[in-house]
Structure 1
Amino acid sequence: MSASAERSEAGFRLADPVGLDESHRMLREQVRRFVEKEIVPHADAWEREGKIPRALFRRMGDLGFLGMQHEEASGGTEMGAMASVIFGEELSRSGFGGVTSSVTVHTDMSACHITRVGTPEQKAKWLPDLISGRKVCAIGVTEAGAGSDVAGIRTRAVRDGDHWVINGTKMFITNAVYGDLLILAARTSGPETGARGLSLFIVPTDTPGFKVAAKLEKHGWLCSDTAELVFEDMRVPAQNMLGEENRGFYAIMRGFEHERLMIGSFCSGESSRALELTLDYVRTRRAFGKTLWEQQVVRQKLAELASRVALIRALTYQTAATLDAGRPASIETAMIKSVGPEILHDVVHGCLQLHGGTGYMRGTPIERMARDARILRIGGGATEVMLEEVAKRI
């Protein structure tokens, strides 16, 4: 077998970082097989339908994929940040950002708040169904006027006896249309308190007063459901407050740190898949009497892109190791979020360019991936905001 054919068969896969143990390697292989057999063959249909079947969550729950951020007492496996990075990277290699988004919002951005700050009673009530995939979770922080500026949240919760009455709206909420549970951020004191006046609540989506105002049509991530929500005199039991009153901002910030780490894994996985597809393409596509791979400018462009993928991947894995060691990594996660999506954008659009007209056609993986990649420069903190977060810390 030629070196070129051998490389194509192997795909673009960088060596695993030093320090991964056997459980990490087994997890990668298991998720990779799952993606190849149970996501990739079906996800085009999910894109057309605009939803992911509930059976996918249940199957992932059966395999233990939904419990890695949860403690063993609740049915989880407590595998830590490194396992989440591996999980996110392999999901992203599917090339379907919508699947990755919906699943990881459930596993790493919403349900994990219950494990971090929930009471024993809340954990016992909600986590078994979330870890098994019988229920799907969402996180409700963003509003039309409060995205990266969390302190600007206006959704208001007012205590009324043994309930909180909540009024307000949320925007761009993943899993809100077909999900079962929302971790909701609301203001529980006056607007003058800013970030110090926010609290979290566990809200079942069938609560009276909870309304999906609109299922939003997006540029990419077509199979993940995204919605605008409205809360009208929605009564939530007091025991559904998650964590301490007026301390929700700190839980949200901790969640953002993990979310930014996960976005690094998305950038690594999807970029790697884009390079793999493009390497296969340029080795067979001929122009001017030779393959594109034999054109020096093409080889060097791909070499540059591959090197940038290796950089964001290394930073992401190193940051995961730092967090698993119990050390702070807020500047590293901000760096990941500020540069990772920019690298991903450059990689997928550079790869689309090398596919020529074919890459611009709907139905080709690289075209879909280019659309899916765009949101990561906005969601979870726009690049410009994240650069300011880095600047404040240096």
Structure 2
Amino acid sequence: MDFTLDQDIQSLRRSVRDFIQNEVEAAAQQIEDDNEIPERIVRLSREMGLFGLSIPEEYGGLGINMVGKCALYEEIGATHNGYTTLIGAHTGIGTVGIVEMGDERQKRLYLPDMASGARIGAFALTEPQAGSQATNLKTTAVKKGDKYILNGTKHYITNATKADVFTVMAVTDPSKGAKGITSFIVEKGFPGFRVGAVEKKMGLRGSHSAEVIMEDCEVPVGNVLGEEGQGYVNALKILANGRAGLAARNLGSSQKLLDMSVKYAKERIQFDKPIMEHQAVAHMLSEMAVDVEVLRSFVYRVAWLVDEGRQVIKEAAMLKLFGSEAYSRVADKAVQVHGGLGYIADYPIERFYRDARIARIYEGTSEIQKNIIAGRLDKEYS
């Protein structure tokens, strides 16, 4: 396995690191207080090409491999997770479906603007009755002439208030179960489409999730993504593809928490010596460091497998499971190391702790990842 980054990616990584540290971090408290990412930060992100991480060069993106993307995601993860989620949801599940399954017309129509950040992407699968049980969709799509008419409500849709282009899953043939689900590219301006209530969340301030409501929404036949009846398969592919990137963002956040915790432990004096010299604190820092290093190795191994064209259904599920759980463990220990300061809302440790909790839920819960892993093991050993 070779995780070596070429000179261009190393240079871009340094630029992204500087941008995250000097610009986004400086705005982190503002993002938290205002529940909004400043337009200046979004504009600078566009100028750096961060919205085009997953899009090939021929459509205006950066055209880098998965190992390179994970290196950049790791840097992006080292700041406010609301900002991280805006970028990650767009470059991950928001665009991957069109890149991987779109026809040439669809790619030419949507990807250049999505690569530049002029149009934001979102992924609309979850419904009130279809979360982990993704096959229980109630949103329907009925073909009428040269259009499909979509009716239904999605919720918890990340980037919904900012997005212009949605990958939407709907039932085209209820009699076929999972094989009766089709994916569509839906624009926010299509007749019958609107964004509903914005959800109030525990964390991820600045990243808005909301309902997406379709009432006799008119979608051109040409906006079917992939083949009719392949929507559930498409959804699984889109989610699996993004798991290495999501874990890389978790890695960046975990490394940031470790860095902050070690620095604090070396400066904080209790019982006449730095708390890092107390075994209880030293052990917590050691455990955090192990989680970070194991996650780093796992992220780049799976990213390398993706670049090799290998099937990574099991490995991606394992990585999503381990990455989200490791991030939660690191965040919890960071609060403990910082003591009362870690519980204060004006200090970033508390923010990371709240933000880490969603990692075990969105884009496939930890329990669903275990089901996927067990299913693959059952096939491998049969």
Query: What TM bracket, shorter-length normalisation?
Result: over 0.9
In structure 2, what is the Cα distance between the partners aligned to 1:241 and 1:47?
Answer: 38
Give a deviation string over 1:20-53, Cα, whole Å, max 9, x none: 3323322321210111122111132222222224
Deviates more, 1:262-271 or 1:212-221: 262-271
In structure 1, what is the Cα distance between the partners aligned to 2:152 and 2:290?
Answer: 46
Alignment match, 1:361 = 344
SS of equivalent residue, structure 2 residue 75: helix
TM-aligned CA distance change 1:148 to 1:23, over 3 Å: farther
Shift in Å, 1:350:
0.6
Contact 2:154–2:212 (8 Å) recurs in 1: yes
**Aligned amino acid, residue 110 of structure 1:** G
Q: What is the aligned counterpart of 1:116 among 100, 120, 124?
A: 100
Does 2:330 correspond to 1:341? no
Shift in Å, 1:93:
0.7
Alignment match, 1:218 = 201
In structure 2, what is the Cα distance between the partners aligned to 1:199 and 1:33?
Answer: 42
SS of equivalent residue, structure 1 residue 206: coil
Where do 1:137-152 residues align within 5 Å?
137-152=121-136
Contact 1:68–1:83 (8 Å) recurs in 2: no
Shift in Å, 1:18:
4.2
In structure 2, what is the Cα distance between the partners aligned to 1:284 and 1:59?
Answer: 35
Moved over 3 A (4+): 53-58
TM-aligned CA distance change 1:212 to 1:103, over 3 Å: same
Contact 2:156–2:209 (8 Å) recurs in 1: yes
Alignment match, 2:223 = 240
Q: Could you tell me the TM-score, scaled by structure 1's length?
A: 0.92
Instruction: State the identity %.
Output: 35
In structure 2, what is the Cα distance between the partners aligned to 1:30 and 1:387?
Answer: 37
Contact 1:140–1:183 (8 Å) recurs in 2: yes
Give a deviation string over 1:167-189, Cα, whole Å, max 9, x none: 00111001101221211111111
In structure 2, what is the Cα distance between the partners aligned to 1:310 and 1:111?
Answer: 29
**Aligned amino acid, residue 97 of structure 1:** N
Alignment match, 2:268 = 285
Q: What is the aligned counterpart of 1:59 among 37, 44, 47?
A: 44
TM-aligned CA distance change 1:391 to 1:154, over 3 Å: same
Does 2:109 correspond to 1:125? yes
**Aligned amino acid, residue 271 of structure 2:** F
Contact 1:69–1:76 (8 Å) recurs in 2: yes
Alignment match, 1:164 = 148
Give a deviation string over 1:345-375, Cα, whole Å, max 9, x none: 1111111011111111112110000000000
SS of equivalent residue, structure 1 residue 380: coil
Alignment match, 2:73 = 88
Where do 1:351-390 residues align within 5 Å?
351-390=334-373
SS of equivalent residue, structure 2 residue 52: coil
Alignment match, 1:319 = 302
In structure 2, what is the Cα distance between the partners aligned to 1:159 and 1:53?
Answer: 41
**Aligned amino acid, residue 105 of structure 1:** A
Deviates more, 1:60-69 or 1:222-231: 60-69
In structure 1, what is the Cα distance between the partners aligned to 2:32 and 2:188?
Answer: 23
Q: Could you tell me the TM-score, scaled by structure 2's length?
A: 0.94
Shift in Å, 1:54:
4.7
SS of equivalent residue, structure 2 residue 196: strand
TM-aligned CA distance change 1:232 to 1:174, over 3 Å: same
Contact 1:345–1:374 (8 Å) recurs in 2: yes
Alignment match, 2:376 = 393
In structure 1, what is the Cα distance between the partners aligned to 2:294 and 2:21?
Answer: 26
Alignment match, 1:207 = 190
Alignment match, 1:39 = 24
In structure 2, what is the Cα distance between the partners aligned to 1:292 and 1:140?
Answer: 47
Alignment match, 2:380 = none
Contact 1:148–1:380 (8 Å) recurs in 2: no
Contact 1:27–1:83 (8 Å) recurs in 2: no
Does 2:167 correspond to 1:183? yes
Does 2:231 correspond to 1:260? no
In structure 2, what is the Cα distance between the partners aligned to 1:53 and 1:242?
Answer: 33
Alignment match, 2:88 = 104
Shift in Å, 1:98:
1.1
Gaps of 5+ in 1: 1-16
**Aligned amino acid, residue 204 of structure 1:** E
Alignment match, 2:59 = 74
Alignment match, 1:5 = none
In structure 1, what is the Cα distance between the partners aligned to 2:170 and 2:208?
Answer: 22
Give a deviation string over 1:188-243, Cα, whole Å, max 9, x none: 111x3122111111111122322222001100001101101211111111112221
**Aligned amino acid, residue 74 of structure 2:** E
Alignment match, 1:6 = none
Contact 2:344–2:350 (8 Å) recurs in 1: yes
**Aligned amino acid, residue 262 of structure 1:** G
Deviates more, 1:19-28 or 1:114-123: 19-28
TM-aligned CA distance change 1:142 to 1:38, over 3 Å: same
Alignment match, 1:11 = none
**Aligned amino acid, residue 390 of structure 1:** I
Deviates more, 1:252-261 or 1:214-223: 252-261
**Aligned amino acid, residue 95 of structure 2:** A
Does 2:29 correspond to 1:26? no
